[in-house]
Structure 1
Amino acid sequence: MHEMAIAQGILDIVLNTAAQHGASRVGLVRLLVGEMTQVVPQSLEFGFSALAVGTIAQNANLEVIIVPVTGKCVCCTQQFNIRQNQFQCPDCQSFNIEIISGRELLVDALEVE
């Protein structure tokens, strides 16, 4: 379960950022998680909650926003959502595709007091 290691990294970012701003409590952590990361949101939430016990993020809500895989055709510049690993342009049928979203794994926002 690689989600536990990811949760630890997220908690480190949250606690460091909160400390930099003199926060005493973390209320919300918003994450952008790309579909290609294959992170299981429920496992990530469980890991974060378990690791946050005893910290200022103990009662924080973890909001996970899934970012779909989006591609752009290098040949015709068409942008489209990639579903079921179909890396082919729906317009010109080219396989020359640039991935423009769906690999994200980042802390997007924090709400602190």
Structure 2
Amino acid sequence: MHELSICRALIEQVREIARNNDASRVTEISLEVGPLSGVMPELLLEAFPMASAGSMAEGARLIVDMEPVRVWCSRCQLESAATLNRLVCAQCGDWRTELRSGDALMLKSVVLEEARSEPSGQPAEEQGYV
């Protein structure tokens, strides 16, 4: 299951983002995954708690949005939706297409909690989107 390795790399990337933004904790991570990426979203969701254990993303919510498969046709010059194993133009049926989307594995956003001190000396928490 290479999804565990992907989750571990994701945690490293998110940790760097959190560090650059002086965050104390990650509460939500949003990804976009295409069906042609070779990544299975359900396995990502299963591996995430194991990969994030002991990190600042432990307990964070992982959101996986699916990216649609879309192709551009060189014959009729249109972009259209396509199916996973049939990358043909929906307009004219031509097979000479260029993949426009559907193979992504992209970090879309991270929600962070920022710990800071209030004038009273008590820590305050603030949420921010990256």
TM-score bucket (shorter structure): over 0.9
Q: Which structure would you say has the larger RCO, counting Cα contacts within 8 Å and 6 or more residues apart?
A: 1
User: The residue matched to 1:36 in structure 2 has which SS?
Assistant: coil
Q: TM-score if structure 2 supplies the norm length?
A: 0.82
Q: Runs ≥4 in structure 1, deviation > 3 angstroms?
A: none
Look up the match of 2:94. Answer: 94
Aligned-residue offset at 1:11: 0.8
For residue 53 of structure 2, what is the aligned residue in structure 1?
53
| CA distance in structure 2 between the aligned counterparts of 1:84 and 1:22, rounded to whole angstroms | 41
1:66 maps to 2:31:
no
Equivalent residue letter for 2:78: Q
Between structures 1 and 2, the one with greater strand share: 2
Shift of 1:84: 4.1
**Distance verdict in 2 for CA 1:44–1:72, change over 3 Å:** same
Cross-structure match for 2:108: 108
Task: State the Cα distance separating 1:77 from its structure 2 match.
Answer: 1.4
**How many corresponding residue pairs?**
113
Q: CA deviation at 1:90?
A: 2.6
**Distance in 2 separating the partners of 1:90 and 1:65:** 23
Task: Give 5+ residue unaligned stretches, structure 2.
Answer: 114-130
Per the alignment, residue 78 of structure 1 pairs with: 78
1:22–1:84: structure 2 CA closer, same or farther, 3 Å change rule?
A: closer
* Equivalent-residue separation in structure 2 for 1:4 and 1:17 (angstroms): 20
- Is the alpha carbon distance of 1:40 and 1:84 closer, same or farther for their aligned partners in structure 2, counting shifts above 3 Å? closer
Give 1:42 shift. 2.0
| Greater Cα offset, 15-24 or 41-50 | 41-50
Computing the radius of gyration over CA atoms, which structure comes out larger, 1 or 2? 2
Residues 34-70 of structure 1 show CA distances to partners (whole Å, capped at 9, x for unaligned) of 1101322121122121111111100100000010111
TM-score (norm 1): 0.93
Ranges in structure 1 where 5+ consecutive residues have no aligned partner? none
| Conserved? CA contact 2:36–2:84, under 8 Å | no
